[in-house]
């Protein structure tokens, strides 16, 4: 999941019909869902199995497959049918960290908390090496270092500094913030200005990336051992760490790039600036997996029972994959465990839904919503040509959780104003649990976008941010201990209720927005 933010949608919605009917909300079932989810929850047991027991869940890695097979088997034990690991397309090679030891040995000893980035090679055993400070400002400046990198560890000089913040790490939405979200209006966007800002950002990023790639190429060619990277965001023991480069089967192992916390990184930089030699012990072993390069989603169903509606589908999901610094507890083990708990609740109270309920735990989300995009493309439509498959017409809605462990406060309507009165009524039984806000805006970078890209109703729930952006997101702190049990219980209850209301209660499917035009880039967003 990319960093959470709220923004006005890039399109105007013209609803063909505004549904103002009274929704049939079964109070008895809602009470059963609440009781089962709040008093008999299994969400933390699911959490343990997806995180501590499975480990990091990089797509297609052994950790991901442990979690995926646990989820498939558990869903089957609860009585769901057609549970499977469903291939969505080619992913590439996967990777696992087998050993990592990094320590400064001169001018004095210190063991460092260090995280090799994904898809990097190792050191080929324990190495003791000098660190060299790279002060170049652009690719041309790297010429000064040619012939000097063999057997060295590289570290880039940094001019930015850590700035103390007095804001709390963890926050919940205030009533004023939620009111502001609810009162957002649809407005036309200055697309020319947005394109200009986007291109400026891309140009700056391309320049920085070009220099980094040039340095890595030199390092590989001359036989350097590794490089250290960091930013002021990596402070107080929290280290944000993702990938070092590409992962296609034909791509070579990326140069060993290791993320450090800012305080350690800058200690090394200051020593080298003052001409104090720095030496490191470094021993990293990594392993690549090429036997099966496909990506897999976990899919399972509660079959529909209504003769007219059982072929229609309501979906719920979250992405199961994670990065490797932690165990992906809040990004988004939380989404997967909430969705698993939601269907467990529905099975436990014995519902007989009119429509089929289908859960999906996606892979490849962290690399660009790959699992959900692949599933949507093969099941409903390809946004590149918008040729609709038969299942497109039979689809009711998709509900997603991917903004951490915080409790649900409402729903992003994704520009679909026609569902507002429906969702308002569905939220009424849970207003006392803090869920009542509906906003026309959207949150970016989650799997609901894959459905929206082909004109299917896809929604992400509004969640309290807690410490998602400050401590958890893509970091070594994204672990079980940062999950909030009561929030997860609340979220599972609300998701179960939404799925039940849509699958079992409604005579008609949710209203849809205007069908989008074909998008040649194939993404639709």
Is the sign of the CA dihedral 298, 438, 175, 432 positive or negative?
Answer: negative
Q: In terms of C-beta density within 10 A (0-12 exposed, 13-18 middle, 19 or more buried), how is residue 253 classed?
A: middle
Model confidence, pTM: 0.94
Per-residue model confidence (pLDDT) at position 186: 82
- Which residues on neighbouring strands pair with residue 443, listed in sequence order? 6
Same domain, 242 and 301: no
Same domain, 319 and 417: yes
Same domain, 26 and 50: yes
CATH number of the domain residue 325 falls in: 3.40.630.10
Distance CA 241, CA 471 (A): 12
Nearest to 181 by CA among 7, 319, 61: 7
Boundary (domain end) residue, out of 266, 289, 312: 289
Same domain, 331 and 479: yes
Same domain, 44 and 164: no
Tell whether 184 is covered by a domain. Answer: no
Number of domains in the chain: 2
- Can you give the pLDDT of all 525 residues of the chain as single tens digits? 544 443 334 333 333 334 446 898 999 999 999 999 999 999 999 999 999 999 999 999 999 999 999 999 999 999 999 999 999 999 999 999 999 999 999 999 999 999 999 999 999 999 999 999 999 999 899 999 999 999 999 999 999 999 999 999 999 999 999 999 999 998 766 667 767 776 777 676 776 788 999 999 999 999 999 999 999 999 999 999 999 999 999 999 999 999 999 999 999 999 999 999 999 999 999 999 999 999 999 999 999 999 999 999 999 999 999 999 999 999 999 999 999 999 999 999 999 999 999 999 999 999 999 999 999 999 999 999 999 999 999 999 999 999 999 999 999 999 999 999 999 999 999 999 999 999 999 898 999 999 999 999 999 999 999 999 999 999 999 999 999 999 999 999 999 999 999 999 999 999 999 999 999 876 666
Same domain, 400 and 457: yes
Same domain, 53 and 27: yes
Same domain, 299 and 317: yes
Same domain, 424 and 497: yes
Per-residue model confidence (pLDDT) at position 64: 98
**What is the distance, to the nearest Å, from the Cα of residue 288 to the centroid of all Cα atoms in its chain?**
22
CATH number of the domain residue 223 falls in: 3.50.30.30
Boundary (domain end) residue, out of 289, 313, 331: 289
Tell whether 8 is covered by a domain. Answer: no
Per-residue model confidence (pLDDT) at position 22: 84
Distance CA 448, CA 416 (A): 13
The boundaries of the domain holding residue 411 are 21-91+293-505
Tell whether 1 is covered by a domain. Answer: no
Tell whether 445 is covered by a domain. Answer: yes
Tell whether 3 is covered by a domain. Answer: no
Tell whether 152 is covered by a domain. Answer: yes
Tell whether 490 is covered by a domain. Answer: yes
Per-residue model confidence (pLDDT) at position 206: 72
Per-residue model confidence (pLDDT) at position 189: 60
SS3 of 192-253: HHHHHHHHHHHHHHHHHHHHHHHHHHHHHHHCCCEEEECCCCCCCCCCECCECCCCCCCCCC
Tell whether 153 is covered by a domain. Answer: yes
For residue 81, give both structure tokens.
């049918």
Same domain, 251 and 329: no
Same domain, 128 and 238: yes
Same domain, 102 and 237: yes
């Amino acid at each position: 999941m990319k960093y959470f933010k709220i923004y006005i949608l890039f399109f105007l919605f013209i609803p063909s019909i505004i549904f103002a009917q009274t929704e049939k909300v079964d109070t008895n079932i809602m009470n059963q869902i609440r009781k089962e989810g709040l008093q008999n929850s299994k969400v933390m047991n699911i959490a343990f199995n997806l995180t501590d027991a499975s480990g990091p869940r990089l797509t297609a890695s052994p950790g991901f497959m442990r979690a995926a097979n646990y989820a498939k088997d558990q869903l089957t034990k609860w009585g769901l049918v057609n549970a499977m690991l469903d291939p969505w397309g080619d992913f590439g090679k996967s990777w696992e960290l087998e050993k990592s030891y990094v320590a400064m040995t001169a001018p004095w000893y210190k063991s460092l908390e260090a995280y090799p980035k994904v898809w990097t090679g190792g050191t080929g055993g324990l190495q003791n090496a000098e660190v060299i400070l790279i002060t170049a400002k652009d690719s041309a400046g790297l010429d000064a270092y040619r012939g000097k990198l063999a057997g060295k560890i590289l570290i880039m000089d940094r001019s930015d500094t850590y700035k103390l913040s007095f804001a709390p790490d963890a926050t919940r939405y205030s009533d004023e913030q939620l009111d502001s979200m609810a009162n957002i209006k649809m407005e036309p966007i200055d697309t020319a200005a947005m394109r200009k800002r986007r291109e400026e950002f891309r140009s700056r990023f391309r320049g920085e990336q070009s220099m980094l790639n040039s340095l890595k190429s030199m390092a590989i060619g001359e036989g350097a051992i590794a490089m250290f990277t960091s930013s002021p965001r990596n402070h107080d023991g929290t280290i944000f760490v993702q990938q070092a480069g590409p992962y296609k089967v034909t791509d070579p192992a990326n140069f060993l790039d290791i993320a450090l916390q800012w305080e350690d990184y800058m200690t090394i930089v200051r020593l080298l600036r003052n001409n104090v030699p720095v030496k490191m012990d470094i021993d990293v072993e990594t392993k690549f997996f090429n036997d099966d390069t496909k990506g897999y989603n976990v899919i399972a169903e509660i079959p529909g029972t209504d003769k007219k509606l059982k072929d229609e589908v309501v979906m719920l999901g979250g992405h199961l994959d994670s990065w490797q610094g932690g165990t992906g507890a809040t990004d988004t083990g939380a989404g997967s465990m909430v969705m698993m708990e939601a269907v467990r609740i529905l099975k436990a109270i014995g519902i007989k839904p009119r429509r089929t309920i289908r859960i999906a735990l996606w892979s490849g989300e962290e690399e660009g919503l790959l699992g959900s995009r692949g599933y949507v493309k093969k099941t409903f439509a390809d946004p590149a040509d918008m040729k609709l498959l038969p299942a497109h017409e039979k689809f009711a809605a998709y509900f997603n959780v991917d903004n951490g462990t915080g409790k649900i406060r409402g729903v992003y309507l994704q520009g679909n104003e026609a569902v507002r009165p429906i969702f308002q009524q569905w939220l009424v039984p849970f207003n006392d649990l803090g869920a009542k806000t509906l906003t026309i805006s959207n949150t970016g970078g989650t799997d609901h976008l894959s459905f929206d890209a082909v004109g299917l109703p896809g929604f992400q729930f509004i969640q309290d941010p807690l410490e998602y952006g400050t401590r958890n997101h893509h970091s070594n702190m994204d672990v079980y201990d940062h999950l909030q049990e009561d929030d997860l219980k609340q979220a599972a209850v609300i998701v179960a209720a939404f799925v039940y209301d849509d699958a079992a209660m409604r005579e008609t499917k949710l209203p849809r927005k205007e069908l989008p035009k074909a998008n040649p880039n194939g993404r639709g967003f």
